[in-house]
Amino acid sequence: MLSDEMAKAVLELPAEERLELARRLVESVVFPATLTAAVTEGIKRIEDIASGRVKGLTESEFRAALE
């Protein structure tokens, strides 16, 4: 399967399945023993936003926070 076809198929999966796939992909390229607290926290935050537990910032809110 070509990477474009694979990406299209993966993006059609439900959010929870995409999150699980993302977790597996990260673990496949980062040796589990080297997963730092920062990487673990980053994955948790992505899951929080994707699941709706945490509301993300709008682009304007993000830009305002940078000023």
pTM of structure: 0.47
Q: Residue 31 has what pLDDT?
A: 64
The pLDDT assigned to 13 comes to 93
How is the chain split into domains, by residue range?
3-66
**pLDDT means over runs of 10, the chain (67 residues):** 86 90 83 71 87 88 91
Cβ-count burial 5-25 (b if 16+ within 10 Å, e if not): eeeeeeeeeeeeeebeeeeee
Report pLDDT for 60. Answer: 92
